[in-house]
Amino acid sequence: MKGNVIRLRAESLASKFGFGDGDIVDYFCEDNNISLDERDPHQILIKLVRTYLLPLIPHVEVYEIGTMHNPIRCEDKFVEELQRSDIYVDVTIHQLIQCINETEKDPIFMGDQCNQCEQTEQVTEKRRKFMVSYSFNKANLLAPGFGNVSVIMPDISMESIQEVEKIIKGQIEVDKVIILNIIELEK
């Protein structure tokens, strides 16, 4: 997906798998060596769609959904219309970088708030790097949200997992956090 622009198609609003299954920003940034600097690519996609695509189709109503797929979709009454749509907008690298810079950093990036976990680039025998995938629920969400966080911690123990859950729950103010998966990234 290397190039000068990200093409956002209106038809993607009509599909769970639209915008490259929600990963269009991730793929584009990876292919063009653009750092997201701890920002959530789904939040960037939502901001790009609202800023650049929706003004071309102002009558279309959309909603956001916490998912691993496309996070912004049109209401059911617009699906058929948008499935046939040829409308698109090309977002430049400059516009993308501006959007990235305007998007808040993901509050789940751990920092030094955890006794068992540390944010550092140094991995040693006693400190290993893990990717933690989780789901969360808030009272005002129709569906659960999902997220990932990279942490460095001594091991995978109940104590360290509970500490990660506690921090996630406090940082994004959710009712429930469920750790789905923990993968060691480096040894």
Domain map of the chain by residue range?
Answer: 5-102, 128-184
Hey, which CATH number is domain 128-184, 3.30.1490, 2.80.10, 3.90.1720, 3.10.20? 3.10.20
Count of CB atoms situated within 10 Å of the CB of 166 = 13
Alpha-carbon distance 120 to 112, whole Å? Answer: 9
Residue 129: pLDDT over 80: no
Question: Of residues 3 and 52, which shows the higher confidence score?
Answer: 52
The tens digit of pLDDT for each residue in 54-102 reads 999 999 999 888 777 898 999 999 999 999 999 999 999 999 999 998 8
Alpha-carbon distance 181 to 79, whole Å? Answer: 34
Identify the pLDDT of residue 115.
43
Nearest to 172 by CA among 121, 115, 134, 120: 134
Residue 17: pLDDT over 80: yes
Residue 18: pLDDT over 90: yes
pTM confidence score = 0.60
Task: Locate 119 and state its tokens.
Answer: 């944010």
Residue 49: which pLDDT band, with cuts at 50, 70 and 90?
Answer: very high
Residue 146: pLDDT over 70: yes
Identify the pLDDT of residue 125.
52
